[in-house]
Amino acid sequence: MSATAKVLSYVALLDGTISPAKSAIIRSTYRRAGFSAEEVSEVEITMRECQEWFVHGGSDPERIREPLREACSHVAQHSGNRTRVIFLTTALRLAASDGFVSLAEEKAIRAATEWLGLDASDIDAAWSEIAGTPGGAKAAVSSTSA
């Protein structure tokens, strides 16, 4: 659970801080997945730790690349395709939560998609799911799941 919380925290930090809105998106993702209140509290601790690391190191988005890669690699090794697609969709929601997706967010999400073992086409499918377009990510999940 720590690695998945780190993936989402690092994406949220690309704008400089984990805003209350982004924190709510992350917590909601875990609640919808059935995590307990105690587990969601652990996610909140991970978010705070990631933010403290980022701020104390100078808040440079380039610093996030390597920790994001490591966290994505761990998630890819220990989760199924459906879980990875859920985290991609959540990462896109985080990036777009302030009304636009920055270049740093776009680059990080494209890299994370690869590191999670997903196809670039999964990004379009996730956007379709977010927009409510029929057949979006659900079709991508069922066609690529083992």
Residues of the chain with pLDDT under 70: 133-146
pLDDT at 134: 55
Q: Decide: 13 and 54 in contact? Cβ < 8 Å.
A: yes
| pTM of the complete model | 0.83
Encode pLDDT of 33-66 as tens digits: 999 999 999 999 999 999 999 999 888 888 999 9
CA–CA distances in Å: residue 68 to residues 11, 77, 141, 145: 8, 14, 23, 24
CATH class of the domain comprising 2-144: mainly alpha
pLDDT at 133: 64
